[in-house]
Structure 1
Amino acid sequence: MNISFSHLKLFYVFALLSIAISSSQTPAGYDLWLEYSEIREPTILSEYQKVTNSIFFSGGNSILLNAEKELVKGLDAMLGQASDIQDSPNLSNTMWVVKKDGLNQELQSALKGYFEQIGKEGFIIKSVSVDGKNILLISANADTGILYGVFKFLQLMKMQKSLDEINLIEAPKIDLRMLNHWDNLDRTIERGYAGFSLWNWQKLPKYIDQRYKDYARANASIGINATVLTNVNANALVLTSAYLEKVAALADVFRPYGIKVYLTARFSAPIEIGGLNTADPLDKDVIKWWNNKVTEVYKYIPDFGGFLVKANSEGQPGPQNYGRTHVDGANMLATALKPFDGLVIWRAFVYSETDATDRAKQAFTEFVPYDGNFLDNVLVQVKNGPIDFQPREPFHPMFGAMPNTPLVMEFQITQEYLGFSSHLVFLPKLYEEVLDAETYRKGKNSTVAKVIDGSLFNKKISGMAGVANIGTDMNWTGHPFAQANWYGYGRLAWDPYLSSETIAEEWLRLTYSNNSEFVKPVKRIMIASREAVVNYMTPMGLHHLMDTGHHYGPGPWVGDLSRPEWNPTYYHNADKNGIGFDRTPTGSNATSQYAPEIAKIFNDPETCPEEYLLWFHHLPWDYELKNGRILWDALALKYQKGVDQVEEMISTWKQVKTYISDDQYNEVRMLLEIQLQEAKWWRNASLLYFQTFSGRELPDGVGRPEENLEYYKSLKFPYAPGN
């Protein structure tokens, strides 16, 4: 029998994981931000011991059971004593965890007006008075609100917040808070950098891995309420009965944590698994097939969420194959799902190999004219920028341009274009930049966040999706700090107005330490890290300079691929006259897709923000910037600054060594050394290549490349992960 190296590696990973998780000591990082340790600060400890001395928990179904188990787990670990949980209220109870319908009249009166604010998923954590006696109350309208409230209370407790500071009336601002897994049925993950897929389809439905429960628990702790199990480059087999029973088993695990399951639907499924000779969305047999298939899905999974669809993009089949529109395709599926309250989430990531126009314009051109034509259970999912998850892009012009269609924000949590899981990159800083961007679609203060949460155009449903960075690695995400991107995405999906600084501090306190001598400097690392990556990869608005296919490392010289918009040379347009992509009226006129106030700023290089300068303009190498430097010197110094920032990160990490364990310190130290090496690689390769056009020397202060350009061009990585 022949066993490949990849199969041996897979077996070895799973064997190690099974041993580690079955032992009493979980591997470092496995518990994510949910590891509960005893509170050492005496005042805080005493405060929480008093208020949790006797707890009334009104239980019931599986969601409430998980909430109660979590409360006991957290309290016992942090307080160092067994919790006294009672299932009936009395005057000795110092803490109550109960839904609104379990409160007495006095308590309902004390909380009058609050329950209307929190909807089905929100919660109240508040000290109230009952017969002259103060109790701490966690309450909600529904079971999931109690679950979220318990997690929030334990997080505040773990961060050692004084009870005097806890008075929360909180509800999610976005309805659909979803992870998109780009997981394939063979357990590989497209753009996955943390091992293999969690979903063991071969052993499902009978074997339920503990990881499925731990995954659901982690998501519930940050309010994620939906998961798409399969890759957007879909496989129709997942809609067969053999796989639907496996999906149903996962749905049964996730349901007690308030999480609904979604699947990706391959548009050609009626042909591939249905025996039809067409997938035309207006064909009566195709319509009947999808109606029957949806009915079958709901027999397996009664609370199935719906379908995520990638169609007519990068070779995926879709309605345009039959001369139909995105509306025709989406509405056909939406009609089938409507009786079951299911949703269609139709991705707007489209670009055509036969369209010679600027790739950045194509999604807007294909979708905006159909605003208002989609059925009310269709949401259009739009990437944060108009190209493809680049280290920095301007916000997608579709945001704000479709007032009659709910738009779902799609962020990438996995670091496809940002150094994979080798680089420390705190992505909530990127998310925040996009969400805070002004669209001017209804005047000033019409931010992207207001488009996404539905408030700008009074949408009935809102959504945010994050392409997951989760795999079978012992710490889930490959890089310990990549956990912060999963956590931060969940926090912003709950509240898109949170600051990245707030999220970074929360995560550090929950994951590492409450010591401010650790938190302050490491938070500075996190906040600066995304800008560092932009600087050493794609400064000043450059984009899509990554090497072919795997997107690992620089490849600005690549220009021989079959489709022009796959080539880095298409995007930077470097020549002896200058560099950059002209998207003003003298070029592709992509700026016209933004509101006039934004277009005016972007069209003029004097007013265009420097971080987007080469995104919107092709400028001479000697173009003078506001600081007096010419473009070539400024570009080179940006690359160098990125390298310098990584060196600063390493220096800061060394300074906080004493506050964490040796294992925690060394793991990040080694990864930072890789990041520094690759930052220099990006700087050297990119500047040597662009220098062939500029003909100028590198300015003082920029490190000199160790190798020549041909060396960097010769590097090949046929087995780079996630390809």
Structure 2
Amino acid sequence: MTVIWQLGALLSLLSLASAETGHAAWLRYAPLPASVARQYSAPSTVVALNISEVDPVYTAGQELQKGIQGIFGGKVTVANTNISLSSPAIIVSTLGQYVKAYGSETAGHVPELTDDAFWLDTTGDTVQILGQNGRAALYGAFEYLSLIAQGNFSKVAYATAPDAPIRWVNQWDNMDGHIERGYGGDSIVFSNGTIKNDLQRVIDYGRLLASIRINGIIINNVNANATLLNPKGVDGIGRVADALRPYGIQVGISLNFASPSANLVYGNLTTFDPLNQTVIDWWTNVTDTIYDRVPDFAGYLVKANSEGQPGPLTYNRTLAEGANMFASALKPHGGILMFRAFVYDNHINETNWKADRANAAVDFFRDLDGVFDDNVVVQVKYGPIDFQVREPPSPLFAHLRQTGAAIELQITQEYLGQQCHLFYLPPLWHSILDFDLRSDNKSTLVSDVVSGKRFNRTLGGYAGVVNVGVNDTWLGSHLSMSNLYAFGRLAWDPHGDSETILQDWTRLTFSSDPAVIETITDLSLESWPTYESYTGNLGIQTLTDILYTHFGPNPASQDNNGWGQWTRADADSIGMDRTVSNGTGFSGQYPPEVAEVFEDISTTPDNLLLWFHHVNYTTKLKSSGKTVIQHFYDAHYAGAENAQTFATRWERLKGKIDDQRYNETLFRLRYQAGHSIVWRDAINEFYHNMSGIADEAKRVGSHPWRIEAESFDLDGYDVYQVHPFHTASNFTGIVTSSNTTAGTATTTVPFESGTYDIAVGYWDMFNGTSKWVLSLNNKTIGSWLGDNEKYLGHEPSRYLDGHSATRVTFHNITVEKGDTVKIVGTPGGIEPAPLDYVAFLPEGVID
């Protein structure tokens, strides 16, 4: 029977009754098993002491009603007036409104609540959920629902408060409706140059954000469009704010620094100099206009003088002078100015041994500490470069002693598999948040800097770059949603345990079945080291294509350009020398105790060796005694090998998870298995070719179970030299001779008779859908389409390269030596049915 490996075929088998799209995420409120539900008698009355229907307390009452009815069944009523405390009920309110209704003596047991803190008490017949403010009460309602949705009926009484005041998400949505790094579809906010009329998805998103205690959102891309500031745009901002206000989420926007010189209705200035009074007046007028429409407007996010963006340096003004111009306009309204520290020159010269993009943030901001206005927060990427698979923490955190700081974490997986590769991010985030910078030889955890505790700052916190889209799964991948959930949890409490958070999310999103929890926990916790192993290890960065899509492998793209994400690899050596003694001096940007560790190769951790030191390929690692190059070879093989197990382990959950989410996740894990081999081979071939050093295990460049496509007998197919060379097996593939006529590739099986998995390496390009049919002795054993772009949201490629390269596998095929193998490829659009190889894999062999 023909096997068609495409997601559409998998989904055609679904039972509609059991399908879940993922839209509800962790707020499914799925019914508990009867044996669990009967252990708890949920109150059937909710009292929400709200002032109006736009108050988050009103939202809390509605959410409690929906949640309890979903979890336990039955009817729940909601009232907004006080009832007798002797009656079983859930009371949700601000602490002030509760005292007003019931008297201060009834709240004497409640501790003082700081901003956004709440009190939850389930010890009596009446459940108390009391917030310092309305959104805090809503947070408490979600907390209670999270507990009971997981079957946790413990009697609890506690208060909890956020670690930091700023817990914002940054959307990178463009006004045309597309999203920069948008792997989950188009924008839920913008379309055709304006804010959408239908904001239901925004409301649904606000509900998700409130449930993880996010209190602010920047709705547009940091590469901002000035037209958002026109009257229609301001009204649109207001409509978004109106939609999110019931969830306690304040709206802010990104600004283009040069907006005053754009052709806008407010005026058309000839300058955007931040010290020019007409410019200052212009921004003051814009800001006042926004606050007239949105009185609780959160503030601005500004990217300036980075990657070609305009900014104060254009006029020889300091970054602080630029930031303070906005801060002054915002301050009378209580607004915050988030100023990104992502400022660097993207045209630096690699031949200058001292040049280093990693130095930029400290170089630009160190001397400005204490000069920024007190409502300015410098938003710092977690590492010195750009969301790589492993970086040390940005040393700038140690220099912002008199300035509020926020850490920028990327929830969207830009350099980390783009939601097509499983990557649970919290362990990576913890490696930064838990890092001790040792300022003044005292404990200086990054998390304590951004909370404001370490340097006694009142403003600071967390900014998560998250590009939810119109895809039902929000991020394009069901499993990637654990990162959004965990971001909220860690922004509230950065000391939260990654595994505990993951397991809470799994129970809420999928099931409390122990097998489901164990499998998702194991896969997720293995995902970072697995991805790091087959992409870029030892601190060399991710080794993706930095000039094109940031998705597939292309180590050559790192060097010989001005972007500064260099490896400085040559025939003998690799790595950035960032020492003070002989390199770029970056290590010296850390406080002395940390700088001393990174300056010395003998104390630098192996996993950051190539970040801080330029070494020979034959340098031996402290941790294993292996050479650097052998570690590369071994790690890439080990990582790809483990990635092969992900889909197999997921398959054990069939029947334990609804069919739709099971199959959609299985599709991505199978894709990851194939693409991890593309990564493994590309990186190993590149450095093998560059260094000339053989793999001790004799794997690199040797594929004994593959038949290269160019060695087939070809009819209607031509041999094609692939670029980059290392993204094709044997550096070569085949493509159809025309874009309209099918090609045929034929050969015979050279292997002994037996049962094999047959894997086919091919390329799936954007803007084309080819079809391939694989047969043995003219009997079809499988067919597939080149339509991954319909199901995978990663940045597409129009070329045969590491982004479009992929692999499909057909399992348990009985083969006789000498059988005729034939592939017929029919091109579609620009895609010429490209093929790389066919591998016959005995049990346990990956090749």
The answer, yes or no, to whether TM exceeds 0.5 is: yes
1:694 Cα deviation from its structure 2 partner: 2.1
Residue from 120, 125, 135 that aligns with 1:125: 120
Q: Distance in 1 between matches of 2:643 and 2:153?
A: 36
1:617 pairs, out of 613, 616, 636, with 613
Per-residue CA deviation, residues 198-255 of structure 1 (Å, 9 max, x unaligned), is 1144597783332121011111110111111111011111111121111111110011
Structure 2 counterpart of 1:580: 575
**Aligned 8 A contact 1:27 1:475 in 2:** no
Moved more, 374-383 or 242-251: 242-251
Aligned-pair distance for 1:128? 5.2
Q: Deviations over 1:455-508 (max 9, x none)?
A: 111111122101113011111110111111111111111111111111111110
After superposition, the C-alpha distances for 1:529-584 in whole angstroms (9 at most, x for unaligned) are 011111111111111522122112111122686x4225x6xx21112221111111
Match for 2:608: what amino acid?
Y
Are positions 1:301 and 2:294 aligned together? Answer: yes
Summarize the Cα distance change of 1:676–1:629 in structure 2 as closer, same or farther, 3 Å threshold: same
The amino acid of 2:330's aligned partner reads L
Q: 1:69 aligns with which of 62, 73, 81?
A: 62
Shift of 1:342: 1.1
Who is 1:710 aligned against?
Answer: 725
Is 2:246 the counterpart of 1:251? no
Q: Deviations over 1:298-333 (max 9, x none)?
A: 112111111100000001000000011101100111
- 1:374 and 1:306 mapped to 2: Cα distance? 16
Is structure 2 residue 697 aligned with structure 1 residue 700? Answer: yes
SS in 1 for 2:383: coil
Q: Residues 442, 108 of structure 1: CA spacing in aligned structure 2 closer, same or farther, 3 A cutoff? A: farther
CA distance in 2, matches of 1:605, 1:382: 27
1:409 aligned to which of 398, 407, 419: 407
Name the counterpart of 2:250.
260
* Maintained 8 Å contact 1:236/1:269: yes
Counterparts of 1:588 and 1:204 in 2: how far apart (Å)? 45
**Distance (whole Å) between structure 1 residues aligned to residue 61 and residue 321 of structure 2:** 46
The match for 2:752 is none
Q: Is the 8 A contact 1:190 1:722 kept in 2?
A: no
Contact 1:306 1:342 in 2 (8 A): yes
Question: Are residues 1:98 and 2:93 paired?
Answer: yes
CA contact 2:408–2:463 (8 Å) conserved in 1: yes
User: Residue 383 of structure 1 contacts residue 411 of structure 1 at CA under 8 Å; is this kept in 2?
Assistant: yes
* Contact kept in structure 2, 1:536 and 1:639, CA below 8 Å: yes
Kept in 1, the 8 Å contact 2:18–2:659? The answer is no
Partner of 2:772: none
Contact residue 54 and residue 92 of structure 1 kept, 8 A: no
Q: Which residue number corresponds to residue 340 of structure 1?
A: 333
Distance 1:135-1:702 versus aligned 2 partners, 3 A rule? farther
Which residue in 2 is equivalent to 1:678? Answer: 675
Inter-CA distance 72–677: structure 2 relative to 1 (3 Å threshold): same
Q: Name the CA distance, whole Å, in 2 between partners of 1:113 and 1:462.
A: 30
Q: Deviations over 1:583-602 (max 9, x none)?
A: 11211111000111111111
Deviation, structure 1 residue 655: 2.3
Are the equivalent residues in 2 in contact too, given 1:637–1:699 (CA < 8 A)? no
Which among 159, 165, 173 is matched to residue 150 of structure 2?
159
Q: Deviations over 1:649-696 (max 9, x none)?
A: 223212232421232222111101111111111111111111123211
Which of 587, 592, 597 is the equivalent residue of 1:591?
Answer: 587
Name the counterpart of 1:52.
43
Identify the residue that residue 434 of structure 1 maps to in structure 2.
432
Match of 1:225? 215
Equivalent residue of 2:168, what SS?
Answer: strand
Determine which of 658, 663, 672 is the counterpart of 1:666: 663
Which stretch shows the higher mean deviation, 520-529 or 180-189? Answer: 520-529
Post-superposition offset of 1:284: 1.2
| 1:352-375 deviation line (CA, Å, top 9, x unaligned) | 145552000011100011100000
**Structure 1 match to 2:162:** 172
1:162 Cα offset (Å)? 2.2
Question: In 2, distance between residues paired with 1:442 and 1:111?
Answer: 43
**Number of the residue aligned with 1:9:** none
> Where does residue 448 of structure 1 map in the other structure?
446
In 2, distance between residues paired with 1:623 and 1:239?
56
Query: Relative to total residues, which structure has the larger helix share, 1 or 2?
Result: 1
1:636 deviates by: 1.1
Structure 1 225/277 Cα, relative in aligned 2: closer, same or farther at 3 Å?
same
Three-state SS of the structure 2 residue aligned to 1:572 is coil
Task: Give the match for residue 362 of structure 1.
Answer: 360
Of residues 194-203 and 246-255 in structure 1, the stretch that sits farther from structure 2 once superposed is 194-203
Quote the Cα distance in structure 1 between the aligned partners of 2:192 and 2:692: 58
Distance 1:373 1:355, change over 3 A: farther
CA distance in 2, matches of 1:206, 1:448: 38
Partner of 2:397: 399
Distance 1:337 1:190, change over 3 A: same
Are the counterparts in 1 of residues 99 and 106 from structure 2 also a CA contact under 8 Å? no
- Separation in 1, partners of 2:765, 2:215: 37
1:132-211 matches, within 5 Å, as 134-164=125-155, 166-201=156-191, 207-211=197-201
CA offsets, 1:24-44, max 9 Å, x none? 9995101111001111153x4
Match in the other structure for 1:17: none
Partner Cα separation in structure 2 for residue 269 and residue 24 of structure 1? 51
Worse-superposed segment, 375-384 or 627-636: 627-636
Given that 2:169 and 2:214 are in contact with CA atoms closer than 8 Å, whether structure 1 keeps it comes out as yes
Which residue of structure 2 lines up, in the alignment, with residue 14 of structure 1? none
Counterpart Cα distance in 1 of 2:503 and 2:19: 24
Distance 2:490 2:133 in 1: 22
Equivalent in the alignment of 1:10? none
1:55 & 1:38 partners in 2: Cα distance?
19
SS at match of 2:673: helix
- Other-structure match for 2:501: 503
Q: Is the 8 A contact 2:48 2:60 kept in 1?
A: no
Residue 371 (structure 2) pairs with residue 381 (structure 1):
no
Number of aligned pairs?
Answer: 691
Inter-partner Cα distance in structure 1 for 2:34 and 2:17: 27
User: What secondary structure is seen at the aligned counterpart in 1 of 2:297?
Assistant: coil
Residues 113 and 406 (structure 1 numbering): CA distance in 2 closer, same or farther, change over 3 Å? Answer: farther
1:113 positional shift: 6.6
2:72 pairs with one of 51, 76, 79: 79
Partner of 2:441, secondary structure, is coil
CA distance in 1, matches of 2:195, 2:415: 35
Q: In 2, distance between residues paired with 1:75 and 1:144?
A: 20
- What is the SS of the residue equivalent to 1:524? helix
Secondary structure of 1:393's counterpart equals coil
CA distance in 2, matches of 1:635, 1:148: 46
Cα gap change, 1:717 to 1:326, in 2 (>3 Å): farther
TM-score by length of 2: 0.78
User: Aligned partners of 1:589, 1:716: CA distance in 2, in Å?
Assistant: 43
Could you tell me which residue of structure 2 aligns to residue 3 of structure 1? none
Q: What stretches of structure 2 of length at least 5 have no aligned partner?
A: 1-15, 350-354, 709-721, 732-762, 768-792, 797-847
CA 313–204 in structure 1, closer or farther in 2 if over 3 Å, else same: closer
Amino acid of the structure 1 residue aligned with 2:118? F
- Whether the 8 Å contact between 1:432 and 1:499 is mirrored in structure 2 is no
In structure 2, C-alpha distance between the alignment counterparts of 1:479 and 1:248, rounded to whole Å: 31
Q: For residues 388 and 147 of structure 2, what CA distance do their matches in structure 1 show?
A: 34
In structure 1, the partner of 2:554 is 555
Cα distance 1:289–1:717, how it changes in 2: closer, same or farther (>3 A)?
Answer: farther
Report Cα offsets for 1:377-432 as digits up to 9, x if no partner.
Answer: 11100000000001111111111221111111001111110111211111112111
Q: Is contact 2:559-2:568 (8 Å) kept?
A: no
SS at match of 1:291: helix
CA distance in 2, matches of 1:25, 1:232: 40
